[in-house]
Structure 1
Amino acid sequence: MKSKYVVLASALFISVASFAQKDEIKAAEKAIKKGNSQEAATILQGAESLIANASDDEKAQFFFVKGNIYLDLANKKIDTDKNLAAAAAAYLNLVDAEKASGKSKYTSDAAKSIIEIKYKLINSAIADSKIEKNSDSAKKLYDAYLLDKKDTLNLYYAASTYVNAKEYDQALKIYQELKEMNYSGKGINYLAVNKITDAEDLFTTAAERDKVVKMGTHEKPTTEVIPSKRGEIFKNMALILVDAGKTEEAKKAIEEARAANPEDTSLILTQANLYLQTKDFDTYKKLINEVLAKNPNDADLVFNLGVLSANAKDVVNAEKYYARALEINPKYVNAYINMAALKLEAEGPIIAKMNKLGNSDKDMKSYAVLKTERQNIFKSVIPYLEKAMEVDSKNEDVANTLLNVYSALEMTAQKKALEAKNEVVYYF
């Protein structure tokens, strides 16, 4: 008999607790309607400990109210980051509760708030990234992905930002997620210049873009192909694994990726880079030749081979690949820039030698020879920098470098003309 009374008492306790919980939720709702979100949060905390035993319907209501409270606090700029994260977590719990119950009373109402939080998180992540708060930025991007898992670009950016934060374990975990979903990121952007703002607007389809061009609100339609990001994903995975002493795991991951995506040449480049890192030069050369055999006239591919060669301090082949990329595409601005940068690297050792010289006649003669060598380097990069400026006249880095070169060679007329044209400040 005693056990029956205990069961009955327990059932009564749960029932009373449920009533108390409902009362607190209602009280919290009233407080938020009056604009007292802080008070509402305090009231709702009283129901927090009881929510585990609540029904799915009650959980859904609780999390919906909780999400509304913390979103309102975030919008009032009260502990914005903390409350935005709390609101996001509450809405996700709401969605899970309604999935479990098979009902959808609050999910549709919460959908707008979820999208609002998503974009607030993204904007806040961008702001954090600009001031190098990369860890905070990465977490927000990941939270934004959790709110809208169809938008996988946020997951990709979260991984990259964790790399910038040097939180390699977190980055590797997300790269693993991207690998498992066979994420590519490949796509097409349809762009046109807005005549009012003079900025490029992005459109979902070519038809949508072409429509506004015909209407006359936009001009200069362009189509931008977004290349596959698999190569970068697996390159970063490989670098993290190699850094952790897991070279064989890195090789296996890339082999699996290549097996799943045999036509993705970016993965071959990644594999080549891995063997370069591990000083297996024979396999590296074999893979490079495999890339060239697949598509010898792909300017991007050839350019990337130049980058790999430059990273390997193979200047001869780096120059060869950059020159070949320019043969294929004479407007390949990055090939001009990298070619100039490659040649300018030879300046460093010359300056080091010059700084070691004294004032003797012999040293002065050596100085004159080294000065001529340095000037010849500057002269050799002028054609590439000038071509880069022709292709991309707004590139400040190229303009500043060219101004430095003109100044070093005392090409006053060219320097003044470039300054007048670009209104740039140079540093030398």
Structure 2
Amino acid sequence: MKKQLWVVGLLMITTITFGQKKEIKRAEKALKSGDVTEAMANINAAESLIGSADSEEKAEFYVLKGEVYLADAGKNDFNKMKEAADAFKKAKELGDSKINDRAKIGVQNLRVALVNSAVEDQKRQDFASASEKLYTSYTIKKDTSDLYFAAGNAVNAKDYGKALQYYEDLLEMGYTGIQQEFVATDINTGEVVVFATEDDRTTNMLSGNYTNPDERMAESVRGDILRNVTLIYISQGENEKALKVMKDARIENPDDTSLIRAEADMAYKMGDMARYNELMKEVVASDPNNPELYYNLGVGSSKNGDNEQAITYYKKAIELDPNYANAKINIAAIILSKEGPIIEQMNNLGTSNADYKKYDELKAQKSQLYKDAKPYLESALMLKPDNVELARTLMNIYSQLGEDEKFKAMKARLAEMEGGQ
């Protein structure tokens, strides 16, 4: 009797095994023919039977499941992408050499889908979703650049806890982001484009849209990571941790200008403008022809109450880059900031002859402010022709200076700009 039961049990196991193989074959056939719906139905039917399969059959099943779910995910179904990721992970854990290459191809295709979907999320400013997709990509491919970009998107999503976790993991792994990059120049824009792989660049070169293929080494992003870690600590009120991270980093790399910038950003965030200016001078000394550095020094000096020094820095930035619109705007803003106290004095004057005389003097001073600010604003508007606030400020200045033709022209231009918004 016992022997009879054993035979029946064996027959049942054989039937189940045959059933799961049948469903897997059907799913594979449907996927190859492009019938993803049928493939999905078959793979789901096979999953309920897979428990009794040997490791080789399980590995084959999970690779196929990953392929089917990835095909069904399209460009945006993240839940199905996650299902595919889980399936490929299980297949890799089983470690069957027969499906190893197939699993690698599946993982690579999934990573491409996740990264492309994350890029679309970034365009929509859905940074939380982009971060999650990039982190999922990291978990399956272990490409640390995915983790780095996942952290950056978490920062943009203001999920500082998650960003900090990712950054700390990167620092522990010694991640720098230094790697070989495959680049080419876009013929239409003149911009240097970085491609994911050499094969990717080769394929794009065939389109005829690119020229000058080349290789280069990417710059270290360690300073950016440390900068973000310290700023996150500061935002959480953990100033001591921020200081310690930066101190250790500077000891380790005393001449790393990206770290000096990171410490300067930290000092700025903590309101230590004296330290900020001191550090920025170190940075400028290492790169004296960089207009952005002088601009940042100008911002720091202005925040520290030293507007004259700020103007000196802004002018240096403009000397190095005549098209630095923001530096011109900030100079004009500093000049015009003196208008308020002058108007207040004018309003407080009486009706004596001395007061009338003082009023005329103050009026002349106010007009001179407008004249001093005007060329900077006009130049900035040429560089930023769609800036409504620049146009409005200039229109008011023309009115105050009695430049009627320019006032009318700017008024019409402003109306056109606002009407187009």
When normalised by structure 2's length, the TM-score is 0.70
Correspondence 1:196-275 to 2 at 5 A = 200=191, 202=193, 228-275=220-267
The residue that corresponds to 1:46 in the other structure is 48
The residue that corresponds to 2:134 in the other structure is 141
CA deviation after TM superposition for structure 1 residue 66, in Å: 1.6
State the one-letter code of the partner of 1:24. Answer: Q
State the one-letter code of the partner of 1:84. Answer: M
1:33 aligns with 2:20: no
The residue that corresponds to 1:392 in the other structure is none
Cα deviations across residues 318-354 of structure 1 (Å, max 9, x unaligned)? Answer: 4333333343x335x4x43244146337768968998
Correspondence 1:236-385 to 2 at 5 A = 236-309=228-301, 315-327=307-319, 329-330=320-321, 333=323, 335-341=324-330, 343-344=332-333, 372=367, 375-376=370-371, 378-382=373-377, 384-385=379-380
CA deviation after TM superposition for structure 1 residue 217, in Å: 6.7
Correspondence 1:89-238 to 2 at 5 A = 89-98=86-95, 103-150=96-143, 152-185=144-177, 190-194=183-187, 200=191, 202=193, 228-238=220-230
CA deviation after TM superposition for structure 1 residue 59, in Å: 3.9
Report if the CA contact (8 A) 1:37-1:69 is conserved.
yes
Report if the CA contact (8 A) 1:337-1:384 is conserved.
no
State the one-letter code of the partner of 1:33. Answer: K
- The whole-number CA distance in structure 2 between the counterparts of 1:132 and 1:85 is 21
CA deviation after TM superposition for structure 1 residue 238, in Å: 1.0
SS at match of 1:67: helix
CA deviation after TM superposition for structure 1 residue 138, in Å: 1.0
The residue that corresponds to 1:85 in the other structure is 82
- The whole-number CA distance in structure 2 between the counterparts of 1:59 and 1:106 is 11
Instruction: Report the CA distance shift for 1:336/1:119 in structure 2 as closer, same or farther (over 3 A).
Output: same
CA deviation after TM superposition for structure 1 residue 304, in Å: 3.9
- The whole-number CA distance in structure 1 between the counterparts of 2:314 and 2:78 is 45
Cα deviations across residues 219-267 of structure 1 (Å, max 9, x unaligned)? Answer: 7999999654333322221121122222111112122322333332121
Report if the CA contact (8 A) 1:25-1:65 is conserved.
no
Report if the CA contact (8 A) 1:189-1:203 is conserved.
yes
Report if the CA contact (8 A) 2:183-2:214 is conserved.
yes
Q: CA RMSD in A?
A: 4.9
- The whole-number CA distance in structure 2 between the counterparts of 1:405 and 1:219 is 44
State the one-letter code of the partner of 1:38. Answer: M
Instruction: Report the CA distance shift for 1:290/1:400 in structure 2 as closer, same or farther (over 3 A).
Output: same
Instruction: Report the CA distance shift for 1:40/1:263 in structure 2 as closer, same or farther (over 3 A).
Output: farther
Report if the CA contact (8 A) 1:88-1:147 is conserved.
yes
Report if the CA contact (8 A) 1:403-1:426 is conserved.
no
Cα deviations across residues 109-149 of structure 1 (Å, max 9, x unaligned)? Answer: 23333333222222222222333322111111222333443
Cα deviations across residues 280-337 of structure 1 (Å, max 9, x unaligned)? Answer: 455444433433444444444444434544565654444333333343x335x4x432
State the one-letter code of the partner of 2:374. Answer: K
Report if the CA contact (8 A) 1:276-1:312 is conserved.
no
CA deviation after TM superposition for structure 1 residue 173, in Å: 0.9
- The whole-number CA distance in structure 2 between the counterparts of 1:216 and 1:414 is 49
Instruction: Report the CA distance shift for 1:154/1:246 in structure 2 as closer, same or farther (over 3 A).
Output: same
Instruction: Report the CA distance shift for 1:201/1:272 in structure 2 as closer, same or farther (over 3 A).
Output: closer
State the one-letter code of the partner of 2:376. Answer: V
**Larger displacement relative to structure 2 (267-276 or 306-315):** 306-315
State the one-letter code of the partner of 1:385. Answer: A
Instruction: Report the CA distance shift for 1:344/1:220 in structure 2 as closer, same or farther (over 3 A).
Output: farther
- The whole-number CA distance in structure 2 between the counterparts of 1:26 and 1:310 is 74
SS at match of 2:262: helix
Larger radius of gyration: 2
CA deviation after TM superposition for structure 1 residue 46, in Å: 1.3
SS at match of 2:97: coil
Instruction: Report the CA distance shift for 1:311/1:409 in structure 2 as closer, same or farther (over 3 A).
Output: closer
CA deviation after TM superposition for structure 1 residue 87, in Å: 1.0
The residue that corresponds to 1:74 in the other structure is 73
- The whole-number CA distance in structure 2 between the counterparts of 1:400 and 1:309 is 27
- The whole-number CA distance in structure 2 between the counterparts of 1:272 and 1:294 is 14
State the one-letter code of the partner of 1:119. Answer: V
Report if the CA contact (8 A) 2:182-2:213 is conserved.
no
- The whole-number CA distance in structure 2 between the counterparts of 1:83 and 1:261 is 44
Cα deviations across residues 396-417 of structure 1 (Å, max 9, x unaligned)? Answer: 65x6565445544457679979
What are structure 2's unaligned runs of at least 5 residues? 352-358
| Residue-pair matches, total | 385
CA deviation after TM superposition for structure 1 residue 162, in Å: 0.7
Instruction: Report the CA distance shift for 1:74/1:190 in structure 2 as closer, same or farther (over 3 A).
Output: closer
- The whole-number CA distance in structure 1 between the counterparts of 2:211 and 2:15 is 63
